[in-house]
Amino acid sequence: MKDIKNPVYVTEPILPNMADLEQEIKEIFETKWITNHGVKHDLLENKLQKILKVPNVSIFNNGTIALLTALKALNLPIGSEVITSPFTFPATPHSISWNGLKPVFCDIEPYTMTIDTEKIESLITNNTSAILPVHVYGFPCDVENIDKIAKSYDLNVIYDAAHCFNTEINGKGIGKFGDISMFSFHATKLYNTFEGGCLTYNDHEMKKKIYYLRNFGIKNEEEIVDIGINGKMNEIQASIGLLNLKLFKNEQMKRSNIKKIYLDNLNEIEGIRIPKMPKNATDSFQFFPIVIEDNFSLSRDQLYEELKKHNIFTRKYFYPICSDYKPYKNIESSSVSNLPVANDIKKRVLCLPYFGDLDHEIVIRICKIIMRLNNQ
Ligand SMILES: Cc1ncc(COP(=O)(O)O)c(C=O)c1O
């Protein structure tokens, strides 16, 4: 088998055409309007509203500030509890903590690795104010059940939708579920603005509140109406966003071809489980995670190390999980007995290289290496 010469990483960003970007920057230089809700900023918000099929979009300088702002906008009582998944990026529980709220970890279910809705109710107390589920890897949470629980306990729902740009459930934009959803446009995401993100929400009344919060709480030259932050997206980020909107569908198509090769070659390997998208949802093609079962010849960590020897740099997303982190490991809900599935999956999951320009020959070689390692 031929060696893979150059390192292969888990992702590569889509990048706008340089000449097109130069033209955008030229326009910015001419107007000298470089940030603070410029023309490109507003245009991007309008376009995203249509693409994400949502009634309202507010764009931000990154997804974390967007999530912080979402929690702030809901006026959750300080010190109240927010039920969330430990199987996510640190930004999720950190946004809860930065708002003076308490994260309470709920276990995940093993197939989509999203929050286990059967386990949410047992964690609800008189002090619970919200649920913050994560559509991890782009797999949608059980939005119907979450909605039912939220309604019967009068809780807010904020979705971390960082991984599911352009996902739809039963033809509805995923950003329509819950009170607010956050999308990340970080470089590692299917669609990027280098750094960036947005909030989507149904309640038109929220638009102004979020607008002020995103800009220091400034209402006008003499009135500061809220304790805001600086979450504004600048005009260069917005230009990149406008140009990348023209590219992400093609990227999804290319990733779908790569997914097909992975599925054709890995499906038959004993001990490799490939989590599937539910039938009623479209795939964002954000990540390609596999789960290493007990009957595979190597552990996940051994497979990760072996692939590295072949210049293939996979990622152990998500390991460790948030309940293992220093700031959270001593809270009650972080116990392994509360999170048996998340603690099991964290040792088994591996994200394989997944980006449009990934050479198909390399994808086949990755699969063959995995197959050979299993047969050794
Ligand atoms: C699940 C999840 N939530 C939140 C974030 C934070 O988004 P950002 O990097 O845009 O701040 C990320 C990743 O970047 C993520 O993967």
| Nearest atom, ligand 1, residue 196 CA | 10
Could you read off the pLDDT of 322-352 as tens digits, one per residue?
999 999 999 999 999 999 999 999 999 999 9
Could you read off the pLDDT of 124-173 as tens digits, one per residue?
999 999 999 999 999 999 999 999 999 999 999 999 999 999 999 999 99
pLDDT beyond 90 at 57: yes
Could you read off the pLDDT of 60-103 as tens digits, one per residue?
999 999 999 999 999 999 999 999 999 999 999 999 999 999 99
Cβ of 184: how many Cβ atoms within 10 Å?
A: 29
Region 299-313 average pLDDT = 97
321-325: long-range pairs with CB below 8 Å, 24+: 321/86, 321/87, 321/88, 321/346, 322/85, 322/86, 322/87, 322/88, 322/90, 322/92, 322/93, 322/103, 322/105, 323/86, 323/105, 325/90, 325/93
**Cα(264)–Cα(268) distance, rounded to whole angstroms?**
8
| Nearest atom, ligand 1, residue 64 CA | 11
Centre of ligand 1 to C-alpha 65, Å, is 10
pTM of the model: 0.97
Could you read off the pLDDT of 203-257 as tens digits, one per residue?
999 999 999 999 999 999 999 999 999 999 999 999 999 999 999 999 999 999 9
| Nearest atom, ligand 1, residue 188 CA | 14
Q: Does domain 248-375 have CATH number 2.40.160.210?
A: no
Supply φ then ψ for residue 45, to 5 degrees.
-60, -45
Q: Please, what is the average pLDDT of the chain?
A: 97
**Cα(198)–Cα(288) distance, rounded to whole angstroms?**
23
Output the pLDDT for position 92: 98
pLDDT beyond 90 at 2: no
User: Which residue of 64, 84, 132, 158 sits with most ligand 1 atoms within 8 Å of its CB, as the best mutation to test the pocket?
Assistant: 64
Domain with CATH 3.40.640.10 in the chain: 18-245
Cα dist from 51 to 161, 167, 174, whole Å: 15, 10, 11
Q: Assign 52 a pLDDT band (cuts: 50, 70, 90).
A: very high
Output the pLDDT for position 268: 86
145-153: long-range pairs with CB below 8 Å, 24+: 145/117, 146/115, 146/117, 146/120, 146/177, 146/178, 147/177, 147/178, 149/117, 149/120, 149/121, 149/124, 150/178, 153/121, 153/124, 153/128
Centre of ligand 1 to C-alpha 91, Å, is 6
Cβ(78)–Cβ(100) under 8 Å?
A: yes
| Nearest atom, ligand 1, residue 91 CA | 4
CATH number assigned to the domain covering 18-245? 3.40.640.10
Which residue ranges have their beta carbon within 6 Å of ligand 1?
62-64, 88-89, 91-92, 134, 160, 162-163, 184, 186, 197
Region 30-43 average pLDDT = 97
| Nearest atom, ligand 1, residue 95 CA | 4
| Nearest atom, ligand 1, residue 195 CA | 10
pLDDT beyond 90 at 4: no
pLDDT beyond 70 at 1: no
User: Which residue of 11, 89, 141, 163 sits with most ligand 1 atoms within 8 Å of its CB, as the best mutation to test the pocket?
Assistant: 89
Centre of ligand 1 to C-alpha 198, Å, is 11
For ligand 1, atom 5: residue with the closest CA: 91
